[in-house]
Amino acid sequence: MSVPVITFFNNKGGVGKTSLVYHLAWMFSELGKRVVAIDLDPQANLTSAFLSEDDLEVLWDVDATGERRGTVYQCLRPLTRVGDILDPQTQRINPRLHLVPGDLGLAGFEDQLSYQWHAAMGSSDLYKPFRVLSAFWLLAQKAAAQHDADVILADVGPNLGAINRSALIASDHVIIPLAADLFSLQGLRNLGPTLRAWRADWAKRLDNWPTPEFDLPRGAMQPEGYIVMQHADRLSRPVRAYKKWVDRIPATYRESILGEAPSALLAPTDAHCLARLKHYRSLMPMAQEARKPIFQLASADGAIGSHAAAVKDAWSDFKALAVSILERTNLATEAVAE
């Protein structure tokens, strides 16, 4: 049985998606879940959030044989020749959290994914096309098996290219981080039809290989809701510049992502709104310096006074969001106490 994959995706960048994945990976592990985070963004921002520059230099330094398998691309590189996927060497972040690091070289895998997407509809020799197209899912499942993981969290780049198409094929659940602005609203309108098209196109390819020689992802891509990121509060409500767009998100989400009739519901009462997260601007530099999530900052890190109160708020916010996601994805079993 495969381990569920939750992918955080928005084709509009700059919404705080990678920071969200980073903090939720930590929070899930704090709640007792065994987590594998996989960085499928060629910019590797999630990896740089978890690891130091010294660690990255070692990971990305591939020798002449190309046999390192510390990153996503290094594991998949043999597929571009005549080899197969290598077992990942994950990075241990804490006892219940492991990372499959990203790699700037992953951008070079895009051409293979594009070519094999068409080849998968052929009439013969389907092993290689499906091995390439399902490579992200297979790699994530290998990493999950190594650590008996309960859940896999995937971070992807902000685009609708071939890399993200294969990342979404690997996904059981999709969560959409949004900024409250016109660009995120337009992104929703593009994203919904794209997800439906990818889901249908992958189903056609699965039908074209009715007796596969290895396990393949279902490509469910089930939308589980959206998260409004980085809003500024005034009297516990978004300021006017944000409120205009927050109020438009529910109808656009229902119409574009779910294919339902639009509704006039407001975000705070919308069942598809998982959370509205504060920016926590003052805590981010501290967290980056300490290389830890903002809700783990201590007085030794500079979190004193109002910052200490903000750390407690962040803990409550991310715990509530994590629990909500676990419930939506049917993963909300009794957790191990930290």
The answer to whether 39 and 47 are in contact (CB under 8 A) is: yes
Residue 271 Cα distances to 153, 226, 253, 255, 323, angstroms: 22, 10, 11, 14, 15
pTM of the complete model: 0.92
Helix or strand or coil: residue 138?
helix
Return the percentage of the chain with pLDDT > 90, whole number.
66
Does position 64 have pLDDT exceeding 60, yes or no? Answer: no
pLDDT of 224: 97
Q: Which residue has the higher pLDDT, 80 or 265?
A: 80
C-alpha–C-alpha distance, residues 6 and 39, integer Å? 12
Does position 82 have pLDDT exceeding 50, yes or no? Answer: yes
Does position 335 have pLDDT exceeding 70, yes or no? Answer: no
C-alpha–C-alpha distance, residues 319 and 200, integer Å? 34
The mean of the pLDDT values for the chain is 89
- Number of Cβ within 10 Å of residue 316's Cβ equals 11
Q: Which residue has the higher pLDDT, 238 or 299?
A: 299
User: Would you list the domain boundaries of the chain?
Assistant: 5-281
Does position 139 have pLDDT exceeding 90, yes or no? Answer: yes
pLDDT single digits (tens) 169-226: 999 999 999 988 888 888 899 999 999 999 999 999 999 999 999 999 999 999 999 9
Q: Which residue has the higher pLDDT, 55 or 280?
A: 55
SS3 percent helix, strand, coil of the chain, rounded to 5, is 50, 15, 40
Does position 265 have pLDDT exceeding 80, yes or no? Answer: no
> Of 236-250, 265-279, 284-298, which has the strongest mean pLDDT?
284-298
Give the right CATH number for 5-281 from 3.40.50.1000, 3.90.230.10, 3.30.70.2740, 3.40.50.300: 3.40.50.300
- Number of Cβ within 10 Å of residue 153's Cβ equals 28
Residue 232 binned pLDDT confidence (cut-offs 50, 70, 90): low
Task: List CB contacts of 136: < 8 A, sequence separation 6 or more.
Answer: 38, 40, 72, 154, 166, 167, 169, 170
pLDDT of 70: 86
The answer to whether 38 and 152 are in contact (CB under 8 A) is: yes
Q: Which residue has the higher pLDDT, 101 or 262?
A: 101
